[in-house]
Structure 1
């Protein structure tokens, strides 16, 4: 009987928690604007038309933002006014460089830059190198044939995702990447002999 009561309590607790989390996540800017200070997660994929005129400063507690697959030629400068933002997904757009004020996102921990065929990676690396709090970077399916020379300035990263690119060669200054836990390199153009060599040199740090 006691076990049944405990089980019922946990089901009730997690059910309430789940509903609470659901209420903090929005997929419509019109709904989110009703109580912007309560919005923790905002997914505006496919809502390009609704981005104009958003007062991003109102979303002062926003932790997750997705502007994926909108084919934006310019990322809104206003998103740099989100003081609590931890995760940003701006994959599938057409911009070349991040907003100049991007370093204002002082709590950003994870950034998705997947499916970006026009991105100037080298220029953006110079900007991202100033964001020492960033831990996880996704640069997947960007048709990268090589990494820019300045890429390893991001020596504070813990995880790097480079899956689904066109990399044939890979080398990095392991001694400078003290925080790095893994680099994901699935579905590139490495020969089996290259994978064996890299695995022998870097061990489980590389994921193929």
Structure 2
């Protein structure tokens, strides 16, 4: 279809063409709606069958697609998008609206969002190549998920409009320090980056999700933090199953603005002492902390405590001035029916309190 300058939309049935292996959309400048779902039909080989893969050639200068409002391709595809090259199962993007003058001057991919992903992470998967982000300077949202990326290029720090970043399920060990220049970046998800061991000081973030980063040892640069006060703006932090963290209590103490903290699937027997100092903390998640025996010294601001599946948990202590509205202790089989705790919750008269103790529930 190369050079079909009047083409505005592809037929929906195109993804079902059983012999299609190459789709060239170069110079189709009037495309307004590009949605392709590639049906999973196997291709015959001498040795048997394998999943069909289609190579999709996108226009070399997507900024010429002034009419494009929707691009989405699903299936087993090979992507060659300037300096982003590799196999994936989904790509979608939203172009940024531009004035005619901006269209004439722009030589880059003027995209508002870009999403490239595989359905699930495979530790033996082929590595997607990210050579440079220099052609994507207008991105406000970038998702590169489950792609086994080995290295993030330094020029990611040039994405000055970037607000949301998801690099979950990749194989890099560190991130460029240039990311500290991303002043608008407020949300980052790095879940299941199992080889990640260190982070730059992303003090501008409000939400950081690191679930399953099992080799990550530090959120802060401890050598700097001990000598100078670094102010973090984090409101939400997810450290679910980050069991190799060092000096956890000290690091939590630096995050004075936290309102949501997830420490599920850790191996500590007591919660870090510094949690009591988090005067704005509203939600604490301790689900499946199998070794924790006691929960006490909670901040009075705490409204939601989730401790589902804490097998060794024996007691939970609430201060007389607690603000608890929801308490989940389901499947904490080491805990007896704590009559004192139940009485305290009921007497405090919170209308939204829900307490689960070994499948026993209380609603006041």
Q: What TM-score comes out, normalization by structure 1 length?
A: 0.68
Q: Equivalent residue for 2:179?
A: 79
- Structure 2 equivalent of residue 98 of structure 1: 199
Alignment-derived partner of residue 27 in structure 1 = 115
**Does residue 255 of structure 2 align to residue 158 of structure 1?**
no
Instruction: Tell me what 1:66 maps to.
Output: 166
**Judging changes above 3 Å, is the alpha-carbon distance between structure 1 residues 55 and 147 closer, same or farther for their aligned structure 2 residues?**
closer
158-167 vs 49-58, greater mean Cα deviation: 49-58
Aligned residues: CA RMSD:
3.8
* Aligned-partner Cα distance in 2 for 1:34–1:145: 36
For 2:208, the equivalent position in structure 1 comes to: 111
Q: What SS does the aligned partner of 1:121 have?
A: coil
> Structure 1, unaligned stretches of length 5 or more?
1-17
**CA offsets 1:76-135 (integer angstroms, 9 cap, x no match):** 223222121001112322232222xx24x53x1011122122222375567687233111
Preserved CA contact (<8 Å) 1:62 1:84: yes
Q: Which of 138, 162, 180 is equivalent to 2:238? A: 138
Structure whose residues are more often strand by fraction: 2
Residue 288 of structure 2 corresponds to 187
The match for 1:197 is: 316
- Taking structure 1 as reference, are residues 163 and 149 closer, same or farther at Cα in structure 2, changes over 3 Å only? closer
Quote the offset at 1:162 in angstroms.
1.0
Bigger radius of gyration among the two: 2
Q: 1:123 to 1:205 in 2, by over 3 A?
A: farther
Which protein is richer in helix relative to its size? 1
Measure, in 1, the Cα distance between the counterparts of 2:235 and 2:223: 16
Asked whether the 8 Å contact 1:183–1:207 carries over to 2, the reply is no
Aligned-residue offset at 1:147:
6.4
Q: Alpha carbons of 1:145 and 1:73: their partners in 2 closer, same or farther (altered >3 Å)? A: closer
Does the alignment pair 1:121 with 2:218?
Answer: yes
Q: Which residue of the partner structure matches residue 45 of structure 1?
A: 145
- C-alpha offsets along residues 110-166 of structure 1, whole Å, 9 cap, x if unaligned? 111221222223755676872331111110012369963413232221111112223
In the alignment, which residue of structure 1 is the partner of 2:74?
Answer: none
Matched-pair contact (CA < 8 Å) for 1:182–1:207: no
Bigger relative CO (Cα 8 Å, ≥ 6 apart): 1
**Is the Cα–Cα contact under 8 Å of residues 141 and 165 in structure 1 kept in the other structure?**
yes
**Which stretch of the first structure deviates more once superposed, 61-70 or 43-52?**
43-52
Query: Aligned partners of 1:97 and 1:133: how far apart in 2?
Result: 19
Q: 1:1-12 residue pairs with structure 2 within 5 A? A: none
CA contact (8 A) 2:217 2:246 kept: no
Q: TM-score, normalized by length of structure 2? A: 0.42
Residue pair 1:56, 1:81 contacting (<8 A) in 2 also:
no
For the residues of structure 1 that align with 2:245 and 2:327, how far apart are their CA atoms? 18
Moved more, 149-158 or 43-52: 43-52
